[in-house]
């Protein structure tokens, strides 16, 4: 009997690259003319970002700058879970943006059901914050990867640990 092959589906964020994107964004905000003299700031705090600015316009501009830096550093934009804009002291506004890591149980169930809908001879199981897919044929596993890349689950998926 053929030995089973497997791979893992994960959703990871390189926090070093995220830190670099935040630092570059902060530097650009400090140098831009429309931010001169403002109290705009982006702070990376663990698995979340804290943004503060004078108004909604500057907050949106800061997010656009951050997204641009993230794209240049290959950090997935889907990892950002933007909270609501809240008023802060001194007439300023702030926003907390969570950085999503891992695949939640609900998203994992969506991924597993999408794999089952393919009607291939593979098994998918949720393991903590990742999904493991096993099957006898490598072609079936590659077909699963291709079909999952075409679908949008609202999170960035990476395929790692391909073993045969």
Domain boundaries, the chain: 5-12+103-163, 15-99
pLDDT tens-digit readout, 31-65: 988 888 888 889 998 889 999 999 888 899 999 99
5-12+103-163 with 15-99: one CATH topology? yes
Average pLDDT for the chain: 88
The CATH number corresponding to 5-12+103-163 among 3.20.20.70, 3.30.70.860, 3.10.20.30, 1.10.3680.10 equals: 3.30.70.860
Q: Is 81 helix (H, G, I), strand (E, B) or coil?
A: strand
- 65-68: list long-range contacts, CB under 8 Å, 24+ apart: 65/25, 65/28, 65/29, 66/21, 66/22, 66/25, 66/42
Mean pLDDT of 143-161: 87
Extract the tokens encoding 28.
């650009």
The answer to whether the beta carbons of residues 103 and 10 sit under 8 Å apart is yes
- Is the domain 15-99 a CATH 3.30.70.270 member? no
């Amino acid at each position: 009997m053929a030995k089973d092959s497997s791979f893992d589906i994960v959703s990871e964020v390189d926090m070093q690259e995220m830190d670099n994107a935040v630092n570059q964004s902060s530097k650009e905000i400090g140098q831009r003319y429309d931010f001169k003299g403002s109290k705009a700031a982006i702070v990376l705090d663990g698995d979340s970002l804290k943004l503060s600015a004078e108004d909604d316009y500057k907050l949106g501009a800061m997010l656009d700058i951050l997204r641009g830096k993230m794209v240049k550093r290959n950090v997935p934009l889907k990892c950002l879970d933007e909270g609501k804009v809240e008023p802060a002291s001194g007439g300023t506004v702030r926003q907390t943006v969570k950085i999503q890591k891992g695949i939640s149980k609900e998203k994992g169930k969506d991924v597993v059901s999408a794999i089952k809908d393919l009607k291939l001879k593979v098994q998918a199981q949720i393991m903590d914050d990742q999904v493991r897919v096993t099957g006898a044929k490598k072609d079936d596993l590659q077909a699963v990867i291709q079909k999952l890349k075409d679908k949008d689950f609202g999170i960035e998926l990476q395929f790692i640990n391909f073993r045969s």
